[in-house]
Amino acid sequence: MFVASLLLFSCTNNPKSSVSQTMNDQTQSEVISELKQKYPSANPMRIERGVKQAAELWQNEQGNKADFKEFCLTNFVADSLKTDRLFEKLQRNYEILWGNYGIMGMQLNEPIDLTGGEVEEIDLAFGAYSPSAHLVQDLYNNKIAFITALNFPQYSLDEKNQLGKNWSQRDWAYARMGEMFTARIPSELNMSMSKASSDADVYIASYNVPMGELRNNDGEQLFPKGMNLLTHWNLRDEIKANYSNKENGLEKQLMVYEVMKRIIDQTIPNEVINNETYQWNPYTNVVTKDGKQITATPEDGKRYQQIINLFNEMQKQDAMYPETMNNYIKRKFDGEMEISQAQCEELFTKFVSSPQAKKVGQIISARLGRPLQPFDIWYDGFKSRSSLDQNMLNSKTMNLYPNAQALEDDIDRMLVDLGYTKERAKYLADKIAVDPARGSGHARGGTMRGDKAHLRTRIGENGMDYKGYNIAIHELGHNVEQTISLYDVNDYMLNGVPNTSFTEALAFMFQKRDLDLLNIKNTNKDQDLETLDTFVSLYEIMGVSLVDMRVWKWMYENPDADAQGLQNAVQDIAKAVWNEYYAPVFGMTDQPILAIYSHMISYPLYLSAYSFGHLIHYQLENHLANLSPKEFANEIDRIYMLGRLTPDRWMEEAVGETISIQPILDAVDQIDVKKYTVNN
């Protein structure tokens, strides 16, 4: 998603300094005046904004003042019917261009993303290559970009939220067309950004810890041979899985946390990453081979260099944007998420500092029968499935899904079980492909109608274990959203959702129903437990999101920092957030656990999407409560056919209220602590 979003930013081979000085306010005023005289009945706002937007993008290579005037007078479309016809032609061709370039990019990355064969240098070279890097430059050169900008003006977020109350879907599509060309990014910068992003993805996707080679202080092996866990996702999920392990679950969890701390502070030895040759004690950091200690070399900053590389690329692009979007933080929140960073931080801070956090912490500690540990931010005991036999679950999923094709073949059956008719289920399932992933997996949406969504999931030699299945059902939720919001939205320019939080919401809804899809009846469903589970997820991810935001603020305040400086800063920030919002609940200070997330490395500032995803999920579940399966499926269709409105407008249309933390805080207040302090 991170790389795909970059495709929507315009590019050129010339730096911003080459912008023509003749397109000043006076020139713009003259052109606006002439257009108003030529088209007295035209909407004056369209003329004013269109000319200004085109003028800001116009560069010396496009021509002089007279050329600009002639272009505007010739290409401005005043008649509403002709404007609509122009829109139809533009969006048809943009779908062809963006869609096919998206498919090309996906296919070039398949040797990196999917299992099968070694990843070689030539694969990395093609993976880092951006086929569309010069596309927008061409659209400027042939003036298509200027025709678009002139005729479809951009609106501010406040305007979209206010005016959008009375907009039709076509009005929204016009507004989204107006966001196509707002800045000109040199093509070489898009290429170098693509490489930095690809390098970070490869680093994370190939970062496995051979758990069977870990040893505790007594030299014991706690994990099975051949268990390779991807950081951070699989490590976290291993901690979650061991809450039901009464024999040595806590010991395993403590060892995994030691591994995490070694990754965070970069003392993890290079020799034990993706390598089953050596044995490693993460407590002492001693590495042995054939019973003899060897001199190991720490990873020493490689993790943080990935973030530095991405930041440096973002900095190069900053100057190409107007002041309102002249750093990545603004572009990510105000631009992409359409929720301000300040609003995010305020909302998250209120939640993690709420008195309800202590109440939930007391419940968790009582259910565990011990004081809280830092990794209990991932406490999984409120899910009814957490008490189920993991071996039984693994056996069932491995038997059902020995390979990716078996999962793909079962999607239509799953959708029927969720409430879709057989015809509708087949319609959706036929547009989703399942691929075996090298990493933990992800959902890649189609980029044009006719293109399939891809569910990338990790499947072991013996089939898909339950943890992998649970993640795959999450990704299936993404795929269903991606399919509905592409194929069932009238205008291509409006396809998708307001931001990635909204696709996360449906992914969480699917993931919550994973046992139902295995035909394992959950006789212990309890709304209060589900509320507590969502609260824990929010409490965890909002803290991590705060770390992510503060790290990026720190980098902009320290733009020349190296990997070591960033490493120290990340650890300090993680500990500071922990001490302020988690230590009062957990009773211990200076824990770095919030810095383990791989998203910080390869998906910068994405973590906030999960927080909003959980909030939106909670509000959607309340809205959908007590519906029959058929009604549930129909309502999911209705909601995700809304398309890419702003978050506020989407939520109003979907559930009748904006995004809020108050519903879940109020629900926690109503929970009887005594009722849930016994872990069944």
pLDDT tens-digit readout, 182-212: 888 887 888 899 899 999 999 998 899 999 9
Q: What is the pLDDT of residue 7?
A: 37
Closest alpha carbon to 418 in 527, 550, 324, 517: 517
DSSP code for 298: B
With a cut of 50, say whether residue 12 has pLDDT above it: no
Please identify which residue in the block is written with the tokens 């990196």: 112
Pairing status of strand 453-457 against strand 432-436:
parallel
CATH architecture of structural domain 389-517: 3-Layer(aba) Sandwich (3.40)
Q: What is the rounded average pLDDT of the residues 254-279?
A: 97
What are the pLDDT digits (tens) for 546-578? 999 999 999 999 999 999 999 999 999 999 999
Distance between CA atoms of residues 277 and 298, nearest Å:
16
Q: What is the pLDDT of residue 5?
A: 43
Q: Note every long-range contact of 233-238, with CB atoms under 8 Å and residues 24 or more positions apart, other chains counting.
A: 233/440, 233/471, 233/598, 234/208, 234/440, 234/467, 235/209, 235/259, 235/260, 235/596, 236/378, 236/596, 237/467, 237/470, 237/471, 238/211, 238/467
The answer to whether 641 touches 489, Cβ cutoff 8 Å, is: yes
DSSP code for 58: -
Average pLDDT, the chain: 92
What are the pLDDT digits (tens) for 285-313? 999 999 999 999 999 999 999 999 999 99
Q: Where are the domains of the chain?
A: 2-111+119-187, 205-302, 312-358+525-674, 389-517
Pair of tokens at residue 366: 């009582």
Q: What is the pLDDT of residue 523?
A: 64
Pair of tokens at residue 213: 């080679």
Distance between CA atoms of residues 166 and 188, nearest Å:
41
Residue 106 makes CB contacts below 8 A (sequence gap 6+) with 444, 454
Q: What is the pLDDT of residue 438?
A: 86
The Cα-based distances of 346 to 349, 350, 360, 509, 618 in angstroms read 5, 6, 21, 26, 19
The Cα-based distances of 478 to 20, 168, 441, 563 in angstroms read 44, 26, 12, 34
The answer to whether 400 touches 406, Cβ cutoff 8 Å, is: yes
Residue 449 makes CB contacts below 8 A (sequence gap 6+) with 95, 99, 486, 487, 492
Exposed (0-12), middle (13-18) or buried (19+): which is 486, by Cβ within 10 Å? buried
Question: 3-class secondary structure for 386-427?
Answer: HHCCHHHHHHHHHHHCCCHHHHHHCHHHHHHHCCCCHHHHHH
Q: Identity (one letter) of the amino acid at 318?
A: D
